[in-house]
């Protein structure tokens, strides 16, 4: 069934995986359905937060630590009704796996580390993961690290493939303090901050009257 021609195109939030050095897009993972809520918290990095340090009370050491949490619903029912061949065979496994491997080092890296350890190498290099970018509309394109990840599988087909699930993601925004200024992730954060600053200028300024006073004493 075709949608009403006058209806707006529904944008989807999602994740993009980028090469951390070149910025090349490696994979895009749209969320099947946008979350109903987006929980964000900002922990301010202030100087002189200790009681009595009056001189530094208004200074900021850097961008706040911003965390984002969301629940994403996944459902293979529509695809099963249209007999999508891949979904019929594997259900939601491919989509769940695409999300899960973000937080895994690759099997090739693990095998390589094991081979080097067996050969007597003393220093094992930690895996370099792709840069994860959370995208939720044009004004929210931000580099993140996934810090929490849980999956609740709620229904299964006859082969025990999940066909309905909920994914809960917790993410920490990566800033120039984490990434530096000279890489793609740092540039993305600066653009994210600049977008906030531009939006802030569009907010209509209030008046003292709205606060029930005539001015600051």
What mean pLDDT value characterizes the chain?
88
**pLDDT value, residue 81:** 66
pLDDT at 1 over 50: no
**pLDDT value, residue 43:** 94
Residue 189 binned pLDDT confidence (cut-offs 50, 70, 90): very high
**What H or E segment, with its residue span, contains residue 148?**
strand 141-156
pLDDT tens sequence across 96-126: 999 999 999 889 888 888 888 888 876 777 7
Residue 59 tokens read as 């200074």
Residue 146 CB neighbour total at 10 angstroms: 16
Which residues have CB under 8 Å from 114's CB, separation 6+? none
Question: How far is the C-alpha of 103 from the C-alpha of 127, rounded, in Å?
Answer: 11
Residue 189 CB neighbour total at 10 angstroms: 24
pLDDT tens sequence across 84-99: 778 889 999 999 999 9
Question: How far is the C-alpha of 69 from the C-alpha of 39, rounded, in Å?
Answer: 5
pLDDT at 66 over 60: yes
Question: How far is the C-alpha of 190 from the C-alpha of 136, rounded, in Å?
Answer: 17
């Amino acid at each position: 069934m075709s949608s009403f021609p006058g209806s707006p195109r529904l944008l989807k939030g999602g994740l993009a995986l980028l090469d951390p050095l070149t910025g090349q897009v490696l994979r895009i993972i749209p969320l099947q359905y946008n979350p109903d809520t987006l929980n964000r918290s900002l922990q301010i990095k202030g100087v002189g937060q200790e009681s009595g340090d009056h001189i530094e009370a208004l200074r900021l050491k850097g961008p706040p630590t911003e965390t984002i949490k969301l629940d994403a619903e996944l459902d293979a029912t529509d695809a099963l009704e249209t007999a999508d061949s891949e979904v019929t065979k594997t259900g939601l496994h491919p989509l769940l796996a695409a999300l899960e491997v973000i937080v895994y080092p690759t099997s090739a890296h693990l095998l390589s580390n094991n081979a080097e350890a067996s050969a007597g190498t003393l220093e094992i290099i930690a895996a370099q993961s792709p840069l994860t970018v959370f995208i939720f509309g044009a004004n929210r394109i931000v580099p993140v690290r996934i810090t929490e990840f849980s999956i609740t599988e709620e229904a299964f087909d006859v082969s025990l493939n999940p066909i309905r699930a909920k994914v809960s993601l917790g993410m920490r925004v990566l800033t120039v303090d984490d990434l530096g200024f000279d890489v793609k992730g740092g540039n993305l954060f600066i653009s994210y901050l600049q977008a906030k600053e531009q939006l802030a200028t569009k907010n209509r300024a209030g008046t003292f009257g709205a606060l029930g006073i005539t001015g600051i004493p």
